[in-house]
Chains A and B, each alone.
Chain A
Amino acid sequence: MRKTIVVAVREYQAAVRTKAFLITLFAMPVLMGGSIAAQVALKDKVDTRDRRFAVVDYSGRLFASIETGAAARNAEYIFKGDGEDRRQARPRFLPTLIEASSEDRDQVEFELSEQVRAKELFAFVVIERDPLEDAEGGDEPALLAYHSNTPTYEDLRRWLYGTVNGAVGHMRLVSAGIDPDIVEEATERIGIDNLGLLTRDESGQISKAEKTNKAVGFGVPIGLMMLMFMVVMVGASPLVQSVLEEKMQRIAEVLLGSIPPFQLMMGKLIGTVGVSLTISTVYLVGAFIALNYAGQGSAFPTHLIWWFMLYQALAVLMFGSMFVAVGAAVSDMKESQSLMMPVMIIVMAPMFVWTSVLQAPSAPFSVAISLFPPATPMLMLLRQAIPPGVPGWQPAVGIAGVIVATTVFVFAAGRIFRVGILMQGKGAKFGEMVRWALRG
């Protein structure tokens, strides 16, 4: 045990004392947070060049609505901020009415297309007919035909759709003799609050239910699971390189002169668990501070921290032992890639199903998949973090399963490690690894 700890301490220091570790530690949230921040920041950094478009109005009375709507939009909606910060964040929509008769419409639309190609116009829209006239036949084309050569730019099309629909609705009401204001009032949508449950405190007072913060409600379970995934990846996967270094630099045999192979492997695994706990502690403390700073301190999943640490230690042992086996079996990094694939698939499996688990945390599928040992650390944790949590027996059974699986994996890896670590030259095939694991 003493030797195992000596190895664990060295492994821990070798991992933590590197610049790469610090960079990863801080780059990870910067990258993750950065991509969110970048999206937020770049949301308004859109192309604000004017969108000139032509309107061919065969109804003869809808262009006015488009023109007034666009003017109102250009005056207010496209700007963000107040006072000095006020700046244009969206492009202006500038409609032009094209007079045309239906006889030469092909020619007109071709010319408009040419103008779009020449970038004189951004798009053109054809209003096919008067909306209040009865449609003839069943396969009448849509009222609006929007033509452009940038089909991925949706804002203008959507805006036209909304604006013309509003105008047509208004016209229909007026023609039916109904006051549009009454309809607007009558169809105004009601709100719905998303609340938690009421509690009774010690003095018998029933407290009001708090509004559920959607970001926190979803963020905490997802965040915990993602952190678990990330820590396993960042913490455990370097074991492949570490074992490979000892093997290829011929350090392994020197070590085996002082420590039996299984203890050596356990030392490396325990050191790695330490590394991963360090990473998650840094992030959890960071999240705690951030949440408190944002006034959401109560959202921090304090009740799940010990579960998190326990799951994480076991997950790192379980997946780490697979990485150790890969490192011991191959003879260079390139070779390790192909053997890493199956391990990676097992590690990433929960990533493929977590959305369905999030939607229906107590569905039989969710229960079953979260009791599958390689998925338990991530998915059981996810389910535990989604209110109202899970029945007490499930984490217990899950942990038991993980402990059994981890033991099996660690022992199998120990056997592969013992044989593989002194093998030089060609790497082992998957079948050979299985044979080593079974025969010892």
Chain B
Amino acid sequence: MRVSTILATVCSCGVARLGSLVGKARPDGSRLQAESFAHNVDCAMNVVEIENVTKTFGQHRAVDSLSLAVPEGSVYGFIGPNGSGKTTTLRMIMRIYHPDPGTGTIRVLGEESYGAAHDRIGYLPEERGLYKKMKVRDVLRFYAELKGLRDFKGAVDVWLERLDLVEWGGRKVETLSKGMAQKVQFISAVIASPEMVILDEPFSGLDPVNMDVLRQAVLDLRRKGATVIFSTHDMAVAEKMCDFIFMIYKGKKVLDGTLDGIKDRYAQDTIRVRLTERNGELDRLPGVEKVTDFGQFQELRITPETITQDVLAAVMNVGRVLHFELARPSLHDIFVRIAGPDAEEAAAESVKQEAALA
């Protein structure tokens, strides 16, 4: 029930609405990025266009009637629980998997099938490895050549320098630590200066220092005009970096839009309060659907038709109000709301009800 509501919401505020949203200041103050994106979007085309694509493996429907458009020059974040279809979608964009026949189309950099466009895409899969016996420079040269880059020496040097790997260039991959290997993998994906990079969990397993280095590298790519699509489990990273958030859950798209747009959509229903001298229960108040107690403060989720003024009046009867705020939920909250245990229960409940009705 909830999922379909959200889906409807998302569809109504799809790409068409984005133009009006991108100019807003973001909570972390990254107005600059949003503005530069707004500039891009004026003359933008979509580098990825997925229309109504389904992918099944045996009985399992990994991706279900998915549509998606990634505007040129944007940072597009894919989020979703494990096994929800992120990697499958990214693999389909890379044409490693093909959609089920007759279900829809995927257009990447204007091409509908595997072609020259591939050399303009950098790909860092989630499952990634390097030839252990090869030297770092040889590995990078190999990937540069695979992408059709002829003059790669300069690029290799720049990237090794940049990610602090110069002294490792002549060593074999098997001597690298995990974090260093991951940086080499990142370079292998971006060595050919792609127009679009697809990074599947690029930051997983990195220490904070290396994570910052890679994050800066990603933002630099985008500054130079590349489109970045990445998937992550780290909601804080997604909030900081992404122009657009796309969430997939059980193969279906449940969120797609700018961070502001998504937050606005969820903002009206959360109230953060802080009370002293409490003499009643918050969850008994009219219009309050759910209370999350954080100790110092409580978050109330209210039903859509509830008027916040009424809630304030009711709360005043429960105790002395120190703080009352119409809260913007974090991406983390939204994620948990869609894919958390409660959502699972609600989904199971509705299935039961349907079964009972039938």
Q: Does A7 contact B (CB under 8 A)?
A: yes
Q: B143 contacts which chain A residues (CB < 8 A)?
A: 254, 258
* Chain A nearest CB, measured from B351 CB (Å): 30
Query: In the complex, which residues of chain B have a beta carbon less than 8 angstroms from the beta carbon of A255?
Result: 146
Query: Which residues in B have their C-beta under 8 angstroms from that of A254?
Result: 123-125, 128-130, 143, 185, 188-189
Within 8 Å by CB of A260, from B114, B142, B189, lies B114
* Residues in B neighbouring A6, C-beta threshold 8 A: 142, 145-146
Q: Are B129 and A251 in contact (CB-based, < 8 A)?
A: yes
The A-contacting residues of B in range 138-173, CB under 8 angstroms, are 142-143, 145-148
Q: Which of B133, B142, B198 has the most CB of A within 10 A?
A: B142
B96, closest chain A residue (CB): A256
Smallest CB separation, B71 vs chain A (Å)? 22
What 1/0 mask marks residues of chain A from 9 to 20 whose CB sits below 8 Å from any chain B CB? 010001000100
| C-alpha gap A337/B119 in the complex (Å) | 37
Interface assignment of A105: CB less than 8 Å from any CB of chain B = no
Interface size class of A (residues with CB under 8 A): 20 to 34
Q: For the complex formed, measure the closest distance between the CB of A342 and the CB atoms of chain B, giving whole angstroms.
A: 26
Complex Cα spacing A260 to B113, Å: 11
Asked whether any CB of chain B lies closer than 8 Å to the CB of A259, the reply is yes
Do A258 and B128 have beta carbons less than 8 Å apart?
Answer: no
A422/B133 in contact, CB under 8 A: no
CB contact under 8 A between A257 and B96, given known A3-B146, A10-B142: yes
Give bound CA distance, A63 to B266, whole Å.
118
Which A residue's beta carbon lies closest to that of B130?
A251
Contact between A253 and B127 (Cβ–Cβ < 8 Å)?
A: yes
Interface positions, chain A 1-32, Cβ under 8 Å from B, are: 2-3, 6-7, 10, 14, 18
In the assembly, what is the distance between CA of A18 and CA of B118, in Å?
Answer: 32
The answer to the question of A249 belonging to the interface, with a C-beta cut-off of 8 Å to chain B, is yes
Q: Which of B162-195 contact A (CB under 8 A)?
A: 185, 188-189
Q: Is B132 engaged at the interface, CB distance under 8 Å to the other chain?
A: yes
Which of A6, A254, A255 has the most C-beta atoms of chain B within 10 angstroms of its own C-beta?
A254
Chain B's closest residue to A261 (CB) is B96
Report yes or no: B131 in contact with A258, Cβ–Cβ below 8 A: no
Interface centre among A3, A255, A257, A422 (most CB of B within 10 A): A257
> Which residues of chain B have C-beta atoms less than 8 A from A422's C-beta?
96
- Asked if B123 contacts A14 (CB within 8 A), the reply is no
Chain B residues near A10 (CB, 8 Å)? Answer: 142
Determine the distance from Cα of A258 to Cα of B198 in the docked complex, in whole angstroms: 12
Residues of A within 8 Å of B145, CB to CB, are 6
For the complex, give the distance between the alpha carbons of A250 and B129 in Å.
5
* Pairwise interchain contact B131-A257, C-beta atoms closer than 8 A: no
With contacts A6-B142, A256-B96 taken as known, whether A251 is within 8 angstroms of B148 at the C-beta atoms is no
Residue of A nearest to B147 (CB): A258
Q: How distant is A218 from chain B, measured CB to nearest CB, in Å?
A: 42
Q: Which of B123, B124, B185 has the most CB of A within 10 A?
A: B123
Q: Mark B289-304, 1 if CB is under 8 A from A, else 0.
A: 0000000000000000
Assess whether B50 is interfacial by the CB under 8 Å rule.
no
Q: How far is the CA of A167 from the CA of B185 in the complex (A)?
A: 87
Cα A257 to Cα B127 in complex, Å, equals 12
Interface string of A219-259 (1 = CB under 8 A from B): 00000000000000000000000000100011101111111
* Bound-complex Cα distance A212 to B24 (A): 95
Q: Which of A7, A14, A250, A258 contacts B118 (CB 8 A)?
A: A258
A249 B130 Cβ-Cβ under 8 A: yes
Q: Is A257 in contact with B123, judged by CB distance below 8 angstroms?
A: yes
Within 8 A of B (CB), among A187-234: none
Query: What distance in Å separates the Cβ of B172 from its nearest Cβ neighbour in chain A?
Result: 12
Q: How far is the CA of A10 from the CA of B138 in the complex (A)?
A: 9
| B131–A251 CB distance below 8 A | yes
Report the Cα distance A257→B142, complex, angstroms: 13
Known pairs A3-B146, A259-B146. 12 more at Cβ < 8 A?
A2-B148, A6-B142, A250-B125, A253-B91, A253-B96, A253-B125, A253-B128, A254-B124, A257-B124, A257-B125, A258-B147, A260-B95
Top 6 nearest A-B pairs (CB, nearest first) are A257-B123, A250-B129, A249-B129, A253-B125, A250-B127, A258-B146
